[in-house]
Amino acid sequence: MTDRNKHLEDIDRKIIWHPFTQMKEYIEEKPLIIERGEGSYLIDINGKKYLDGVASLWVTTHGHRRLEIDEAIIAQVKKISHSTLLGISNVPAVELAEKLSKILPAGLEKVFYSDNGSTAVEISLKISFQYWKQKYPSLPPRTKFVCLNNGYHGDTLGAVSVGGIDLFHELYRPLIFQSYKAPSPYCYRCELGLSYPDCGIACADELEKIISADRENIAALILEPMVQGAGGMIVFPQGYLKKAREICTKNKILMITDEVAVGFGRTGKMFACEHENVAPDIMAMSKSITGGYLPLAVTATTPEIFSAFLGGYAEFKTFFHGHTYTGNPLACAAAIASLDIFEREKLIEKLQPKIDLFKSLLERFKKLQYAGDVRQLGMIAGIELVSDKKTKEPFPLEMKMGYRVIDIAREKGAILRPLGNVIVLMPPLSISESELAQLLDITFNSIKEVTE
């Protein structure tokens, strides 16, 4: 190993505190340090290539070093790299807003920029609260939100307040506001002990009960449409999302959909809510919006909500929220270039045969002795490992089955990241058919080696 590489590894272990990482274990192992990327591959400092099996945490869309995006960023650097959006504007922010307005679900005509998924969610929550307060000033403020068990909306405290993953969120309960939690539409482990479709989507009826019991105090329902990501790539039963929309409309509360993970083609549609023709009142987007190049987020909403924030300066109806790097021109330029690729390549349409291939390649995982559930929507899959398929008994988390699988996969040339006992596959949309087959082979063999 070269001196430089050894130095990088030493310093990484010595100074960097990695997110969602037990550092006591991390510093005892040899770190993996990425230096370059190329299409579906990541390349480490020693020159070893790995398939990027989780799109660098669910963001990479058209592959690494995609020429058009590289060039768009470079061209923008030569004009300006940052200028504020507070009270003034910039060219890429305007052009991206126009592009988004043409693809967003019906009614979403206003875009508020920020720079990561958690902030897009914070903004959604604050807009909801302030909307009701300013629209109906004589009524008591609506301070409640409804969210789902297994939901994940980010790590800042507002986002944690509407989070439903105890492992990440329970610890912070003393710091956060209380939300109503509705059952997760998680058919494999139905909280109501029912099975789809005979259940008639009873979890949606539970959601309705919770909402209708306190609707005057509830600002909004927030959920991840179609797939609960960090909760374990839990794919909704058909009809749930539509019912959730109907419940919100009927009970006159807002619906926030968090498309941070599922937006921009991941599920095989541009936005996941298109699967059920649902249009939310507020939609949060981030991760793939720049094709996975730069941090950027958007919270989109309706003219109706926007109008509640209009007034004379001294009425103080302004939305008092804004991040320093809001609407950053480089990030917006990357997002424009990414959306151009979607358009020019008719990407969503062309993706469909790849999704069919993905689905068929996942079939054989169902026969694995310890694969309890294999879930997939579009280019997202979750393989839930269990210690007993009949009883669905999970492997104890201490066994770190997910991590053991990804360690083997890494040796075999693929980078994955598990969610507890769920092995996640979310390759870049641009992955070739042969790379996809290879990724699934590596994953299959890694699971087999660990469990058998």
Ligand X SMILES: *Cc1c(COP(=O)(O)O)cnc(C)c1O
Contact residues for ligand X, defined by CB under 6 A: 116-118, 121, 152-154, 224, 229-230, 258, 260-261, 286-287
Q: Are 363 and 446 in contact (CB under 8 A)?
A: no
Distance CA 399, CA 424 (A): 18
| Smallest separation (angstroms) from ligand X to the CB of 284 | 7
Residue with smaller CB distance to ligand X, 154 or 268: 154
| Smallest separation (angstroms) from ligand X to the CB of 24 | 24
Residue with smaller CB distance to ligand X, 299 or 302: 299
Residue with smaller CB distance to ligand X, 148 or 210: 148
Distance CA 363, CA 294 (A): 35
**Residue 334: exposed, middle, or buried by beta-carbon count in 10 A (0-12, 13-18, 19+)?**
buried
Residue with smaller CB distance to ligand X, 269 or 287: 287
366 secondary structure, DSSP code: G
Residue with smaller CB distance to ligand X, 289 or 385: 289
Torsion sign, CA atoms 168, 159, 145, 299:
negative
| Smallest separation (angstroms) from ligand X to the CB of 56 | 12
Helix axes 67-77, 329-344, angle to 10 degrees: 150
For 136-284, where are the alpha helices, taking DSSP H only? 157-161, 166-169, 202-213, 240-250
| Smallest separation (angstroms) from ligand X to the CB of 286 | 5
Neighbours of 151 (CB within 10 A): 25
| Smallest separation (angstroms) from ligand X to the CB of 10 | 28
| Smallest separation (angstroms) from ligand X to the CB of 116 | 3
Residue with smaller CB distance to ligand X, 224 or 435: 224
| Smallest separation (angstroms) from ligand X to the CB of 20 | 10
Q: Are 282 and 305 in contact (CB under 8 A)?
A: yes
419 secondary structure, DSSP code: B
Report which residue's Cβ sits closest to ligand X: 117
**Residue 10: exposed, middle, or buried by beta-carbon count in 10 A (0-12, 13-18, 19+)?**
exposed
Residue with smaller CB distance to ligand X, 259 or 373: 259
Residue with smaller CB distance to ligand X, 266 or 404: 266
Distance CA 293, CA 242 (A): 32
| Smallest separation (angstroms) from ligand X to the CB of 155 | 6
| Smallest separation (angstroms) from ligand X to the CB of 160 | 11
Q: Are 416 and 54 in contact (CB under 8 A)?
A: yes
Residue with smaller CB distance to ligand X, 97 or 283: 283
Query: Which residue from 446, 431, 444 is spatially nearest to 41, judged by alpha carbons?
Result: 431
Strand segments (E) across 123-271? 144-148, 180-182, 218-223, 227-228, 234-235, 254-258
